[in-house]
């Protein structure tokens, strides 16, 4: 039996509104010093003791009785076996989702390009996939076959040579759908490890876990903090923390639908954040009533309740324009525009990981099978980051191929600039290539 929901109410007309909103959004404060220190200790131990530390942390944090690292490695045949252990409906759903995610991501592929100048100089950009990518698939409080597809398919579309996946299996409970998804998406190697220790293993390598070039994927505070610390040793996609949803509603959508949309992200995590913004005060009351009515029907009521009470909010605004202003301030991971004419408001949205347009487009469709990626920037980072995509698994090299005449002309410009910087070797190196002119100093 759950206690009555006490979702926070904010009013944008309140003089302290900005302050209250800042407080509501401050997830970073959850990453306190003790989490940080614990993560640093875990990374150090994995760097120093490799597999032995991985085994110890997996026993400690995931409650697994494992004798050695061999127990934490799943061969490709195990993934294939999983495909035979799921129902036909599940396999079809995974395959359909995979096809749609692949089609969407194919469009993101960047190709190499070049152009030739009049004197024959060629300039261009060569696009190369990463050699090895590490995918973090969360598995602490729920299992995420959909996240396997969302991480692995863009990597494969990009042409990554080897895709290594890590996923925790708390108490040894292996989720067959997760492994089947890995099989369908073409993951090359799977390790059943999680948390900061898994991120450290991917970043630095151990006797068994190969060192990767980039670690991608969402996770809890330990995973997010570890990714922050290993950045530089490896690339990372973003810090994708607890899930978030911001619904902007004109007051005309069924309040039960909106309550359930808020629940859909709250059920991920006690730290998840679900916010509704509307210019209609009566509608906010109706959604609050729907929340109370529907909460006891939810399987994950405790998590939802904690998330809604601790980090949720119903925000009253003056009009739709102010609702959009608040949305841009929040820069949410998911933004539902549950309004009559979402296209009219779309041009005004500047910051959101993914935008769900209209009353029928529930965020859950995007989580599973619409096609776009569900690994999205959280905690306001949509101000500067984008959804996980093929571009995260490709890098670019510049190409410069000067003709004799091109080098000669560019040499004159480079010489002046280099001497202005007092970098004589640069100047003389360029000047050697100047044709029909006195070279050197
Ligand atoms: N943005 C996205 O695309 C997306 C997708 C799915 C899930 N999520 C989010 O990812 C998160 C998943 O979190 P989760 O916990 O379910 O799984 P997780 O895999 O991220 O974390 C589980 C691991 O955390 C470590 N851990 C747990 N308690 C610890 C402790 N006290 N000390 C050290 N390590 C500890 C353990 O090693 C465990 O294996 C949720 O916040 C969810 O909202 C985001
Ligand atoms: N909403 C999550 C991203 O924040 C993704 C997900 C996976 N499964 C269900 N939802
Ligand atoms: Zn979700």
| Ligand 2 nearest-atom number relative to CA 363 | 1
pLDDT band at 241 (very low <50, low <70, confident <90, very high): confident
362 lines ligand 2 (CB under 6 A): no
Active site residues: 333-334
pLDDT band at 256 (very low <50, low <70, confident <90, very high): very high
Can you give the pLDDT at residue 158? 98
257 lines ligand 2 (CB under 6 A): no
367 lines ligand 2 (CB under 6 A): yes
| ipTM of model | 0.98
334 is in an annotated binding site: yes
The yes-or-no verdict on residue 435 having pLDDT over 80 is yes
197 is in an annotated binding site: yes
Closest C-alpha to 277, from 246, 252, 308, 234: 246
Can you give the pLDDT at residue 33? 87
* Mean pLDDT score, 58-67: 94
Q: What is the 3-state secondary structure (H, E, C) of 332-400?
A: CCEEEEECCCHHHHHHHCCCCCEEEECCCCCHHHHHHCCCCCCCCCCCCHHHCCCCCCHHHHEEEEEEE
Residue 143 CA to ligand 1 center (angstroms) comes to 10
The yes-or-no verdict on residue 226 having pLDDT over 80 is yes
Range scoring the smallest mean pLDDT among 79-93, 187-201, 238-252: 238-252
pLDDT band at 189 (very low <50, low <70, confident <90, very high): very high
CA distance 214 to 229: 13
| Ligand 1 nearest-atom number relative to CA 388 | 3
146 lines ligand 2 (CB under 6 A): yes
The yes-or-no verdict on residue 412 having pLDDT over 70 is yes
Q: What percent of the chain shows pLDDT beyond 70? A: 97
pTM value?
A: 0.94
In terms of C-beta distances under 8 Å and separation of at least 24 residues, what long-range contacts does 344-350 make, across chains too? 345/248, 345/320, 348/321, 348/324, 349/324
How much is the mean pLDDT over the chain? 95
Q: How far is CA 221 from the centre of its chain?
A: 13
CA distance 5 to 99: 40
pLDDT band at 3 (very low <50, low <70, confident <90, very high): low
Residue 225 CA to ligand 1 center (angstroms) comes to 11
| Ligand 2 nearest-atom number relative to CA 142 | 8
CA distance 109 to 124: 17
pLDDT band at 31 (very low <50, low <70, confident <90, very high): low
Q: What percent of the chain shows pLDDT beyond 90? A: 92
The yes-or-no verdict on residue 203 having pLDDT over 90 is yes
Asked if residues 256 and 242 have their Cβ atoms less than 8 Å apart, the reply is no
Residue 300 CA to ligand 1 center (angstroms) comes to 16
Pairing between β-strand 334-338 and β-strand 244-249 as defined by DSSP bridges: parallel
Range scoring the smallest mean pLDDT among 23-32, 241-250, 285-294, 321-330: 23-32
**Two structure tokens written together for 209:** 């876990």
365 lines ligand 1 (CB under 6 A): no
Ligand 1: which residue has its CA nearest to atom 36? 195
Can you give the pLDDT at residue 240? 75
- DSSP class of residue 231 equals B
Can you give the pLDDT at residue 1? 52
Ligand 2: which residue has its CA nearest to atom 4? 243
pLDDT band at 5 (very low <50, low <70, confident <90, very high): confident
Can you give the pLDDT at residue 28? 60
Residue 89 CA to ligand 3 center (angstroms) comes to 21
241 lines ligand 2 (CB under 6 A): no
Can you give the pLDDT at residue 61? 96
Put the strands of the sheet holding 73-74 in their side by side order: 73-74, 189-191, 162-166, 132-136, 214-216, 235-236
Q: CA 302, 335, 217, 146 torsion: positive or negative? A: positive
The yes-or-no verdict on residue 437 having pLDDT over 70 is no
CA distance 91 to 188: 19
Nearest ligand to residue 138 Cα: 1
**Two structure tokens written together for 54:** 């991985």
CA angle, residues 274, 279, 284, in degrees to nearest 5: 50
Give tens-digit pLDDT for 348-404.
999 999 999 999 999 999 999 999 999 999 999 999 999 999 999 999 999 999 999
**Two structure tokens written together for 274:** 């679900």
Nearest ligand to residue 169 Cα: 1
């Amino acid at each position: 039996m759950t206690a009555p929901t006490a979702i926070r109410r904010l009013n944008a007309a309140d003089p302290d509104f900005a302050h209250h909103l800042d407080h509501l959004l401050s997830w970073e404060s959850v990453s306190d010093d003790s989490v940080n220190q614990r993560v640093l200790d875990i990374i150090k131990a994995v760097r120093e003791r490799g597999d032995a530390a991985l085994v110890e942390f997996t026993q400690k944090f995931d409650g697994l009785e494992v004798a050695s690292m061999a127990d934490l490695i799943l061969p490709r045949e195990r993934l294939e076996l999983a495909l035979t252990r799921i129902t036909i409906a599940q396999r079809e759903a995974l395959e359909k989702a995979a096809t749609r995610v692949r089609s969407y991501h194919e469009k993101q592929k960047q190709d190499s390009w070049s152009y030739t100048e009049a004197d024959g100089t060629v300039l261009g950009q060569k696009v190369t996939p990463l050699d090895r990518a590490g995918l973090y698939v969360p598995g602490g409080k729920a299992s995420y076959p959909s996240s396997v597809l969302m991480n692995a398919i863009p990597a494969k579309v990009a042409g990554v040579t080897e895709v290594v996946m890590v996923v925790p299996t708390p108490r040894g409970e292996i989720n067959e759908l997760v492994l089947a998804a890995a099989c369908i998406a073409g993951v090359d190697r799977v390790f059943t490890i999680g948390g900061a220790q898994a991120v450290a293993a991917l970043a630095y390598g151990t006797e068994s876990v190969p060192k990767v070039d980039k670690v991608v994927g969402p996770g809890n505070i330990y995973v997010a903090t570890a990714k922050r610390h290993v950045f530089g040793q490896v690339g990372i996609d973003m810090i994708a923390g607890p899930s978030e949803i911001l619904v902007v509603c004109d007051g005309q959508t069924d309040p039960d639908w909106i309550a359930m949309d808020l629940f859909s992200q709250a059920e991920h995590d006690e730290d998840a954040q679900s916010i509704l913004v509307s210019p209609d005060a009566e509608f906010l009351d109706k959604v609050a009533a729907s929340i109370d009515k529907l909460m006891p029907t939810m399987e994950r009521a405790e998590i939802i309740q904690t998330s809604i009470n601790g980090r949720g909010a119903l925000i009253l605004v003056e009009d739709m324009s102010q609702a959009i202003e608040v949305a841009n301030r929040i820069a949410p991971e998911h933004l539902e525009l549950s309004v009559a004419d979402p296209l009219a408001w779309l041009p005004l949205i500047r910051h959101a990981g993914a935008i769900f347009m209209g009353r029928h487009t529930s965020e859950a469709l995007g989580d599973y099978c619409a096609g776009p990626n569900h690994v999205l920037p959280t905690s306001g980072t949509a101000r500067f980051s984008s959804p996980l995509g093929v571009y995260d698994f490709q890098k670019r090299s510049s190409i410069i191929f000067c003709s004799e005449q091109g080098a000669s002309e560019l040499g004159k410009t480079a010489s002046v600039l280099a001497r202005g910087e007092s970098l004589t070797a640069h100047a003389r190196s360029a000047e050697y290539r100047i044709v029909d002119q006195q070279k050197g100093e």
